[in-house]
Chains A and B, each alone.
Chain A
Amino acid sequence: MSGGWYRSASFILDKQRNGSVLKAESSPMSPATMATENPQSQQNPNPQISLYYQTRAAHHAVVTSDWLAQAHAAIGRHPEDAVSDNSSLKSAGAEESGNGFSVVDEFNNWRKQPDLAEAVAAIRALASVIRSSQATTMMELEIELKKASDSLKSWDTASISLTAGCDLFMRYVTRTSALEYEDFNSAKSRLLERAERFGEISYKARKIIAMLSQEFIFDGCTILVHGFSRVVLEVLRTAAQNRKLFRVFCTEGRPDRTGLRLSNELAKLDVPVKLLIDSAVAYSMDEVNMVFVGADGVVESGGIINMMGTYQIALVAKSLNKPVYVAAESYKFARLYPLDQKDMVPAL
């Protein structure tokens, strides 16, 4: 993954940064992000904020780490809070800004529910940050939220939906002009209300998507599915419960074997499933009526980021005039505009 940087123009910038960073202390990546190798952390100038987030920060005027440090200094907080070690954030009960509340703990609590999407857990955790915040000014509250959001994002830098969810939450919650209230408490309660509402919407998103997609599945149709998406599973489960007669072709999804997991789940619902090897997609595309996939993220051009192989399947479907339907919750809409496949390297 670290070798992929030289393919993008930003590698020149990173090489310059590397020179200065190697002198600075680079904290080891936590076991939670085992997918990234150690060399990656050396390329990341600020280990607390994921590299992906940093490259995008300048583009959409989200509060950057420099601003954060300045703001901290301005309100007289300890500047070292902003640049704490990654590993300390992961340890249980890590305190942030001295108020005894750890957003990562809250996040992990929410994640214990088996069916909950990561991004929804993050959104719920951020809502509870607001609830338990002891800030007395709006600026302080925003800074707390920002820090909490950053620490959640750095928990798993590879997850686009997590990052997108956190960004959207920040925008949704702080967008209201009612923040101009003189009374801080009413403003805070309004923020909290918006935060809870966003959490509710995100939580129910899967069910709503399943309900809206029922019209697309007609009796006797054949659906091709790729990758293990809980949204797609919910759609198919609801269709099966509504007694629709359909059959599913499931790609194997090597090397993760996601196809096997999905076909197991579908078999439990008594849906006729046929498992295909990934190469057999074009062979069977003739019999297929539609392709159903989930998404890890939805980018600004309207395209999606999904498991490897989805692009191939979409190309085959397009050439045979089969519709490709994507089921994605609205918090997955990310501020990304990849111009080609290589632009996805930071988010891999």
Chain B
Amino acid sequence: HFVIEAIKTLIEDIDSCHDQIAQEAVEHIHQNEVILTFGRSRTVLKFLCAAKEKKRSFEVFIAEGAPRCQGHVLAKELAGHGLKSTVIGDAAVFAIISRVNLVIVGAHAVMANGGVIVPIGMNMVALAARKHAIPFVVVAGIHKLCPLYPHNQEVSLNEMRSPSELLEFGKFSNCMDYSTGVGASPLHVANPAFDYVPPELVSLLITDVGGHNPSYMYRLIADYYSADDYFLQEKHDS
């Protein structure tokens, strides 16, 4: 019974994490701010809407987040809530960032060292923000916390998605010939899904237990994970 109760509590926590995080919105968004976000994240949506309800005036730049372009969906939702939103292409981030005073993004996972796994393209945004000394705020529910240390982030924590999101096979079929025998096809398409942002570039991590420095993550891991689970691989008897 205890296990079922615990699971129910966990489900409730996960469901309510967006609202808890959104409560922090008021402290971070003030008047006349210009906020940049990237792609689409439900947490960010609720975060911005909560600030809007508290009568903060701000405008939002949304980088579309190619190739899936979820940023378009977010822009529509924000406009529906009455927020002034501007859609820009990913490549324009560096050009626009000097006019922005806060970057808020969602994360796919938070690693043990405070680094975050985010949708592709955000490492660039983080670097641009660091260059212009703009705070890079990541909002993520505590259930996204992972006890692993990202050793080889480009390889082990990434997944490759279908190249058809980038290129239509029909137009490129003469270069992308996958039949075996003759030789390697000259054209390859890589579509990685995630980016790794190192902890030095993240200014603040807002979780449902409050806003923290990335260097504080080890404490949250100690709270939420038992020591046996830190190393999620088979252990060979040494």
Q: Are A211 and B152 in contact, CB atoms less than 8 angstroms apart?
A: no
Interface-central residue, B149, B152, B235, B238, by most chain A CB under 10 Å: B238
Using C-beta atoms within 8 Å of the partner chain, give the interface range for chain B.
under 10
CB interface residues, B 33-51, toward A, < 8 Å: none
State the main secondary structure of chain A at its contact with B: helix
- Considering only CB atoms, which chain A residue lies closest to B148 in the complex? A215
Question: What is the CB-to-nearest-CB distance from B205 to chain A, in angstroms, rounded to a whole number?
Answer: 19
Q: Are A218 and B152 in contact, CB atoms less than 8 angstroms apart?
A: yes
- Considering only CB atoms, which chain B residue lies closest to A211 in the complex? B238
Query: Considering the chains assembled together, what is the distance between the CA atoms of A216 and B235 in angstroms?
Result: 16
Q: Are B151 and A212 in contact, CB atoms less than 8 angstroms apart?
A: no
Would you give the 0/1 interface string for B121-156, flagging 1 where the beta carbon is closer than 8 Å to chain A?
000000000000000000000000000010110000
Q: Are B152 and A212 in contact, CB atoms less than 8 angstroms apart?
A: no
Query: Considering the chains assembled together, what is the distance between the CA atoms of A207 and B151 in angstroms?
Result: 20
State the main secondary structure of chain B at its contact with A: loop
Q: Are A212 and B231 in contact, CB atoms less than 8 angstroms apart?
A: yes
CB interface residues, A 192-229, toward B, < 8 Å: 207, 210-212, 215-216, 218
Q: Are A215 and B149 in contact, CB atoms less than 8 angstroms apart?
A: yes
Would you give the 0/1 interface string for A258-302, flagging 1 where the beta carbon is closer than 8 Å to chain B?
000000000000000000000000000000000000000000000
List the B side residues contacting A212 at CB < 8 Å.
231
CB interface residues, A 169-213, toward B, < 8 Å: 207, 210-212
Partner of B151, one of A210, A211, A215, A238: A215
Q: Are A207 and B149 in contact, CB atoms less than 8 angstroms apart?
A: no
List the A side residues contacting B231 at CB < 8 Å.
212
Q: Are B152 and A207 in contact, CB atoms less than 8 angstroms apart?
A: no
Query: Considering the chains assembled together, what is the distance between the CA atoms of A263 and B231 in angstroms?
Result: 31
Query: Considering the chains assembled together, what is the distance between the CA atoms of A215 and B238 in angstroms?
Result: 16
- Considering only CB atoms, which chain B residue lies closest to A207 in the complex? B238
- Considering only CB atoms, which chain B residue lies closest to A204 in the complex? B238
List the B side residues contacting A207 at CB < 8 Å.
238
Query: Considering the chains assembled together, what is the distance between the CA atoms of A340 and B235 in angstroms?
Result: 41
List the A side residues contacting B149 at CB < 8 Å.
215
List the B side residues contacting A215 at CB < 8 Å.
149, 151-152
- Considering only CB atoms, which chain A residue lies closest to B151 in the complex? A215
- Considering only CB atoms, which chain A residue lies closest to B152 in the complex? A218
CB interface residues, B 221-238, toward A, < 8 Å: 231, 235, 238
List the A side residues contacting B151 at CB < 8 Å.
215-216, 218
Interface-central residue, A210, A212, A215, by most chain B CB under 10 Å: A215
Query: Considering the chains assembled together, what is the distance between the CA atoms of A211 and B238 in angstroms?
Result: 8
List the B side residues contacting A218 at CB < 8 Å.
151-152
Question: What is the CB-to-nearest-CB distance from A111 to chain B, in angstroms, rounded to a whole number?
Answer: 24
CB interface residues, A 83-138, toward B, < 8 Å: none
Question: What is the CB-to-nearest-CB distance from B216 to chain A, in angstroms, rounded to a whole number?
Answer: 13
Question: What is the CB-to-nearest-CB distance from A205 to chain B, in angstroms, rounded to a whole number?
Answer: 12
- Considering only CB atoms, which chain B residue lies closest to A302 in the complex? B215
Query: Considering the chains assembled together, what is the distance between the CA atoms of A207 and B238 in angstroms?
Result: 8
Question: What is the CB-to-nearest-CB distance from B158 to chain A, in angstroms, rounded to a whole number?
Answer: 15
Query: Considering the chains assembled together, what is the distance between the CA atoms of A216 and B149 in angstroms?
Result: 9
Question: What is the CB-to-nearest-CB distance from A235 to chain B, in angstroms, rounded to a whole number?
Answer: 12
Provide 12 A-B residue pairs closer than 8 Å at the C-beta atoms, listed in order of the A residue: A207-B238, A210-B238, A211-B235, A211-B238, A212-B231, A215-B149, A215-B151, A215-B152, A216-B151, A218-B151, A218-B152, A238-B238
Inter-chain pairs besides A215-B149, A215-B151, A215-B152, 9 sampled, C-beta below 8 Å? A207-B238, A210-B238, A211-B235, A211-B238, A212-B231, A216-B151, A218-B151, A218-B152, A238-B238
The 5 closest A-B pairs by CB, nearest first: A215-B151, A207-B238, A216-B151, A211-B238, A218-B152
